Amino acid sequence: MSVLDLVFLLGGAGLLALGAELMVRSSSRLAATFGISPLVIGLTVVAFGTSAPELAVSLSSTFSGTPDVAVGNAVGSNIFNILIILGVSAVIAPLVVHQQLVRVEVPLMIGISFVLWGFALDGTLGRLDGAILFTGVIAYTYWVIRKSRREGREVRAEYEAEFGRRDESTRTMLIDMGKLAAGVTLLVVGSNLFVDGATAIASAFGVSDLVIGLTVVAAGTSMPELATSAMATVRGERDIAVGNVVGSNLFNILCVLGLTGFIDGAVPVADAALHFDIPIMTIVALACLPVFFKASIMRWEGVLFLVYWAAYAFYLILDATESDALDLYGGIMFWLVIPLTAVVLTWVGIRGFIHRRRQHAHRPG
């Protein structure tokens, strides 16, 4: 570990904040210009742009002979995105959840998490697995953009009612596109600097490749999502904040792992990832459904998400250091924390269902 590593860490964080500001401003304006809802922009353009570091890191890790980092990066990023990014965003301000996410994107995220788990059961992600996953991201992107174009008039009318008529000149669109490209570039460069610094620091403490991928690299490559969602929440663009997280998770599985598996042909999946981290990723995705179902994420739920990520990270640290406390901690998590969480999520889901039924019953017509 050196001073340069700390400089990379802090410099990367600064570029991430600047890139997030540019991306949120430009993407929300382009959404109105093209008649695409902020939610769809968050699910596609912003999500795919902020996930570019995950794609770059996973591909380069595979080519450099560290596939554990590639798999751990994508899986760890999905866990980080929900527990940390949604947690931080909800603590900043309660988040409103668009019902399209409940009906389509969250079930899809849960479904492809199980598909990935099934593909990994033989210990590798092969070329056919990768091709199927990558085909999924193409089909999903085509569907969501085509659907959003049918809603274009409503989006424009809503924007004009709130902000006045939008300048749709070619010059204005080109400026916004330029800002979007600059924002993505700053996010990618900033995250690369952040990951380089953080990885060097973690390696100095003798942490394994898989744990580095699941924690340090996953957190580092998710910094664009964190910066973008937090900034979007502060600016009141909460559809972008939530859509960015869900869209990034879809992208990480379908595109990042799909393309990595297709190009490499046989990406090995470590036993630890197969039997612990991928199941945790799937459980976290499942946990979104009852929380999202009530159409909002409250501050206390955001705090709960943050606490669960801390518990997960602590388990990884105990496992990496082969601590004697691991069995006791694992037993507490399995027999106490997980059942209690299931009860809380069931209660939250039932309350959300009752709330939605009441809203529907009182809706005119």
pLDDT in tens, 100-114: 777 788 899 999 999
Residue 157 is predicted with a pLDDT of 53
Tokens 């570091």 belong to which residue? 53
Residue 57 CA to residue 92 CA, distance in Å, equals 29
Q: Which residue has the higher pLDDT, 91 or 289?
A: 91
pLDDT at 164: 45
Quote the pLDDT of residue 201: 67
Q: Which of the residue ranges 117-126, 158-167, 271-280, 343-352 would you say has the lowest mean pLDDT?
A: 158-167
- Of all residues in the chain, what percent carry a pLDDT higher than 70? 80
What pTM, to 2 d.p., does this model score? 0.78
The confidence score (pLDDT) of residue 210 equals: 66
C-alpha dist (Å) from residue 346 to 95, 111, 297, 312: 20, 19, 15, 21
- pLDDT greater at residue 361 or residue 10: 10
- Residue 115 clears pLDDT 90, i.e. is over it: yes
* Pairwise pLDDT comparison (122 vs 159), residue with the higher score: 122
pLDDT at 195 (0 to 100): 66
Which residue in the block uniquely carries the two structure tokens 């089909």? 139
The answer to which of 146-150, 178-182, 256-260 has the lowest mean pLDDT is 146-150
Q: What is the pLDDT of residue 191?
A: 66
Q: Which residues contact 209 (CB under 8 A, 6 or more apart)?
A: 66, 68, 69, 72
**Averaged confidence pLDDT in the chain:** 78
Q: What structural domains and CATH numbers belong to the chain?
A: 38-149+205-361 (1.20.1420.30)
127-150 and 106-119 helices, crossing angle to 10°: 170
Indicate whether 339 pLDDT > 60: yes
Is the pLDDT at 65 greater than 80? The verdict is no
State both tokens at 57.
Answer: 């890191």
Per-residue pLDDT for 21 more than 80?
no
Q: Is the pLDDT of residue 345 over 50?
A: yes
Top-confidence residue, 355 or 78 = 78
Taking only the tens place, the pLDDT of each residue in 31-61 is 667 667 767 777 777 777 777 777 777 777 7
3-state SS class at 310: helix
Q: What is the mean pLDDT of residues 186-192?
A: 73
